[in-house]
Structure 1
Amino acid sequence: MKKYFLLGLMSSATILTNCSSDDDSINNPAEQKLLLSKITTVYYDNPSNPETSVATFEYNNQGELMKMLSEGRASVFEYNSGKPTKISYYTPSQTLEYYTVFNYSGDQLVNTKAIYTNPDFNRKSTYTYNSNGKLISSTLCQSEDCSNPSTSTYAYNGDNISTETSTIGGSIISAYKREFSHDDKLNPFTYMNKYLKIMMERAYSGNKNNYITERLSYKNNDGSWTQNQNITYTIQYNSAQLPVQVVGKETNGNNYVQYNYEYITQ
């Protein structure tokens, strides 16, 4: 669960979700929804000096996410008939840094492209789905010829991702795996636009429910896997059974991460 949401939306390298008909009913504007309005995250990478990050979200009257603010940076969203078409990313000085465009085939998001003034920085994420419309893989290309791409694949248990396997391309290729178990309550991103959740490409945003355990492993040169972390999450819920606080701890009891979620009703 760690930094993936903010990194996905703010950097747009790749922003995951179930694209089934359930999403369409969730996004029904006639329904009253609890929209995610603020995430406060405390990272314990350095336990003696935890790092706190705050992200806030602004919506229009249709419940569409229009702006995200985090650490002075702004992401501004544009839509066409409920489909995101463009996200513009601004620096703390309000200068446009780059923008991302969305490309569709019918109702399916096929890729997103991040466009910079310097084309050497441009990148493209491509998505593939199974017959049920669930995202099963994504590929990130950071060059025109897509040499050394990074890839992620997803395996499901019902409406939740059970395993996320990622390979990081580059001169030195590395791979890691995340395995999850889940509760039976709704995820904080439940009412977010399904295409934005695909772009986020991470197990938490794409699940129906919340994961309560996370096992992390890295791949060895011989192809075997070595587990290096095992995280357990304790969750507090509001009356709508949405998480308001999630605390992750490592096996030794040390803090790993903490999330506080706030919502608005629309």
Structure 2
Amino acid sequence: MFDWNDLRYLLALAQHGSTLAAGRALRVDPSTVQRRVAELERRIGQSLVQRETAGYRLTEFGQALLPHARQVAQAVEALEQHLESARREAVGVIRVTCPEPLVSRLAASGLLDRFHARYPGLHVEFVMSDRYLDLAKGEIDVALRSGDTVDGALIGRKIGDSLWAVYASRAYVALHGQPRSVDELARHALVGFDAAMSGHRAAVWLRSVAPAARMAARNDSVLGVLQSVKAGVGIAPLPTAIADAEQELVRVLGPVPELARIWRILTTAELRRTPRVAAFFDFVVEEIDALRPVLTG
């Protein structure tokens, strides 16, 4: 199979008759035109152009291929016009829910700036929550969510991995030492979630491995747990993405396999078809490589 983009070089060479003029029209070096046409010939297995004193002319096979190449170019141009029209139509607000610590990391990464530069008519509005908001009820448009997804009505795509480890402050370690295994967690003061977050996987895991441990503090958010651990109140499992970036913290155990989950971007089938949500969803998928360190650390 050949690269469809190479047809552009063949069409330019056929129109202008020389690699210099074709390169000028395409804003590339003449050698690039020659190389891409040669690669197209190699892939197809036929000669398409013949070099002469006055420039290049198409071979008989090249002439036969020319109308088909023009049809492809017209189809690509129509597609680009359609996409540009869709971009102009993509206006409004996209309500995105995600854990609060993720927002500052997204802002610092430049991802949101690139999105708004591409779609100036769109505005991302974050609805920050450590609990799951209901997409089907219209509370939000898109969710950036880690964990198990049991709602079959949602459309999703994996965008990264959520890793958790156990952390303590340097001051806490200096005073109380650190656990060398999960079994030793019960000997330390722990920081966890309150009743509103009792179903969170970190809370469930702590209850299973250290049911008799002393809880030094309970919080209703991951950021609250982070601040308590930084203050030296106790130790706790935290996402590696945010905890590894804190100079005051030390990773004492993990990552913990039982706490690992998949990060997904989620929306409903109906919203996925709207221009504004489709623009954001497709942009996030396109930027997965840049997004991965934001999510995982």
Larger helix share, 1 or 2: 2
Category of TM-score, reference length = shorter chain: under 0.3
Please say which structure displays the higher CA radius of gyration: 2
TM-score by length of 2: 0.19
TM-score by length of 1: 0.20
